[in-house]
Amino acid sequence: MDSGDEPEGSNNNQHQRKQYHRHTPHQIQQLEAMFKECPHPDENQRAALGRELDLEPQQIKFWFQNRRTQMKAQHERASNSFLRMENDKIRCENVTMHEALKNVICPNCVGQPVTDYFDAQKLRMENTQLKEELDRMSSITSKYLGRPFTQAPAVLPTSVPSLDLSVGGGLGGGLSLDLDLLSGCSSGILPPVTEMERPMMIDLAARAMDELIRLAQAGRQLWVKGVPGDALDTLNVAAYDSLFAAPGGAFRPPDISVEGSRDSGLVFMSAVALVDVFMDTNKWTEFFPGIVSKAHTGDVLMSGLCGRSESLIMMYEELHVVTPVVPTREFSFLRYCKQIEQGLWAVADVSPDGLRDVPYGTPPRSRRLPSGCLIADMSNGYSKVTWVEHMEIEQTLPISALYRNLVLSGAAFGAHRWLAALQRACERVASLAMLGAPHHDLAGAGVTPEGQRSTMKLSQQMVGLFCASLSSSPLQRWVLLPGTTDVSIRVAPQRSAEPGQPNGVVLTAATSIWLPVPANHAFAFLRDESARSQWDILAHANQVQEVLRIPNGSNPDNCVSVLRGTMTDANQDGMLILQESCTDASGSSLVVYSPIDLLTANVVMSGEDASGIPLLPSGFAILPDARPGSGAGAPSSSSVGQLGKISPGCVVAVAFQILVSSLPSSRVDAESMATVTGLIGTTVQQIKAALNCAGP
């Protein structure tokens, strides 16, 4: 059929399909500017704007209609947010009144509180009011979603295989625990950004970028100086609210806290390479294994062409401290990257809460406020990074007393720790790129640069697995064992089938202890191969020697090592130890190791791909103690400035992993439990004895 003979309906369908296309960022910018001046343009104005932007007048008309609808919905959401805050405020007042009434005694009753008489009635009234509020909010949501809003059930059903963990005999007196294996589940699934949401997201990201630049460049009116001589600043929340908060937005419920900090320093990496790390979630996770437990990109709203200029993504991340006793923090947020001028980049983060419909339940109350980094290229391989952290946090889960001050002070996820981790990661990348002269392996032959790179990559994989295994993510079920030793031990089984992990059931056991020595002293002791026989019971009191050492930073203690025992019984089975030790300017340190056999070690050091080699990493995660007056005596000068505090002690997370069975359906038996419990208990005792700090 000739094209001119096509049915009229076909032409109409093609014409309609042509009308629906994605506008360019320039077109959206011009349309937004016109909308601010005139939300209801007449026919002549639409025609003129269409000629300027190469759009049909009908397209202009439809865009303005949609934009007015979006603004109406946005205003309604803002109103709903204000009502929600008022509701929180009233609820807090109710709690205060309830506590006060507990002390009111009825004179006609023998010491019985008045509240006993009307608590039930009060709860029924509150329940009725909350139901009415929920129905009203559901009705409003349904109106703007264009579909019925279904309330989520109180408990979301899950169907996951379970692993029965039975502990009998001397461990727990016949305790039976049922642990869910959640390794196959996923979290943080973000719905794609709709066409209606896209302009609002772009506008929010642009405003967040402007605020970030102002925060990064602001002086004493917004920032309070920390330790003298340190670049770390703490945000003055009251001053910030007076400058940036929207009308009515300065009110926060009492259970919401604000963390704001700023730090700056030089990083050994070009600005363009740093921007690539920030916008690639895989690299983002690799660079910060001790802070980011997982991250992924939910949607790409704008894709920069050259060096990721003008890029905008919707991103999800889960932040953690490397221990199972500190709850993780989950955020979904926009990350906007833009080149401000020649050699200067900005990466801004902001959570779009309030602009998006929540699939179920209530919207998250922890969110990223405008924050991020300014990255200035120094033209000598270095970049100057100004890091701003700013978030609102709702702390709903308990935090271990060992880490409570560290977390609540903002130091655990503050700008100083992020920047120190970035500096450390960039040094490692630079060392990997500059590997030169061959090192000597076990047989005395030279290990080529390719072999060194392969060993460093395997070690990086090991550190990533170790940090991820200690995450307190809701998908990783930890169980506290009954007190069989002086330390509290938690265990988590996992059915693993990922590359770099052995197939089968792996059992991770962990505990956290406080040591009255500075963090750098504990790190130096645990990484020193000559002191290893004092705490490693698997060394059988034999000395351990370093047969390969690959430095990976300016600090000589930052290195990848291959260790072996000096006695014959340590070599009979051909087992070696791959170890990485690293520390940064915040005082955060890791000593991670895993046994490898001699054949595997030679394959890796020959330069072969090491990504599929299974590892069972164990080790230590060390953080300076942030508790005031947490140790006796004056701290050494070397501990000043770590995480912005003077720390006479440190907190050490100790973890071991064992392979229970290579069969995925296997049970965790009492023998496996006894093995990991004995390993941790004995190791902790020997570490305390070696450092002369034995005792609870």
Query: Which of these ranges, 89-93, 98-102, 242-246, 654-658, has the smallest mean pLDDT?
Result: 98-102
- One of 3.30.530.20, 1.10.8.60, 1.20.120.80, 3.50.50.100 is the CATH number of 196-243+253-355+362-432, namely 3.30.530.20
Give CATH for domain 448-627+647-691: 3.30.530.20
Cα 686 to Cα 681: distance, rounded to the nearest angstrom: 9
Predicted pLDDT at 376:
96
Average pLDDT over residues 329-342: 92
Average pLDDT over residues 95-114: 55
Average pLDDT over residues 448-466: 91
Closest CA to 274 of 413, 373, 417: 373
**Mean per-residue pLDDT over the chain, rounded:** 78
Query: Which of these ranges, 177-181, 460-464, 580-584, has the smallest mean pLDDT?
Result: 177-181
Cα 582 to Cα 496: distance, rounded to the nearest angstrom: 27
**Tokens 């550190």, located at residue:** 463
Query: Which of these ranges, 31-45, 142-156, 184-198, 305-319, has the smallest mean pLDDT?
Result: 142-156
- Which range has the top average pLDDT, 29-33, 441-445, 687-691? 687-691
Q: Is the pLDDT of residue 51 over 60?
A: yes
Cα 91 to Cα 85: distance, rounded to the nearest angstrom: 10
Structure tokens at 259: 């963390």
- β-partners of residue 652 are 513, 622
Cα 342 to Cα 150: distance, rounded to the nearest angstrom: 50
- Cβ atoms within 10 A of the Cβ of 203, count? 15
Q: Which residues contact 448 (CB under 8 A, 6 or more apart)?
A: 438, 606, 607
Q: Is the pLDDT of residue 250 over 70?
A: no
Closest CA to 357 of 207, 193, 156: 193
Cα 312 to Cα 302: distance, rounded to the nearest angstrom: 5
Average pLDDT over residues 325-339: 93
Residue-wise pLDDT tens digits, 576-635: 999 999 999 999 999 999 999 888 888 888 888 887 888 999 999 999 987 654 443 333
Cα 530 to Cα 522: distance, rounded to the nearest angstrom: 14
Query: Which of these ranges, 6-10, 531-535, 583-587, has the smallest mean pLDDT?
Result: 6-10
Encoded amino acid at 578, one letter: L
Query: Interior CA angle at 446 toward 443 and 450, to 5°?
Result: 120
Cα 666 to Cα 658: distance, rounded to the nearest angstrom: 14
0.85 surpassed by pTM: no
Predicted pLDDT at 578:
93
Query: Interior CA angle at 627 toward 621 and 485, to 5°?
Result: 55
Residue-wise pLDDT tens digits, 130-172: 777 776 666 665 554 444 444 443 333 333 334 445 444 444 4
Average pLDDT over residues 509-534: 93
Binned at pLDDT 50, 70 and 90, residue 4 comes out as very low
Q: Is the pLDDT of residue 119 over 70?
A: no
Query: Interior CA angle at 616 toward 667 and 586, to 5°?
Result: 125
Binned at pLDDT 50, 70 and 90, residue 206 comes out as very high
- Domain coordinates in residue numbering, the chain: 28-73, 196-243+253-355+362-432, 448-627+647-691
Average pLDDT over residues 651-679: 84
Query: Which of these ranges, 405-419, 643-657, 673-687, has the smallest mean pLDDT?
Result: 643-657
Q: Is the pLDDT of residue 226 over 70?
A: no
Q: What is the 3-state secondary structure (H, E, C) of 297-312?
A: EEEEEECCCCCCCCEE
Cα 412 to Cα 255: distance, rounded to the nearest angstrom: 19
Closest CA to 372 of 257, 216, 570: 216
Does domain 28-73 correspond to CATH entry 1.10.10.60? Answer: yes
Query: Between residues 542 and 619, which one has the greater pLDDT?
Result: 619
Closest CA to 491 of 652, 651, 654, 327: 654
Fold agreement (196-243+253-355+362-432, 448-627+647-691): yes
**Tokens 């921007």, located at residue:** 275
- Which range has the top average pLDDT, 228-232, 374-378, 497-501? 374-378
Predicted pLDDT at 80:
74
Could you give the percent of the chain with pLDDT greater than 70?
72
Phi, psi of 389 (to 5 degrees): -110, 135
- Which range has the top average pLDDT, 106-120, 391-405, 482-496? 391-405
- Which range has the top average pLDDT, 9-18, 172-181, 283-292? 283-292
Binned at pLDDT 50, 70 and 90, residue 344 comes out as very high
**Tokens 């952290």, located at residue:** 389
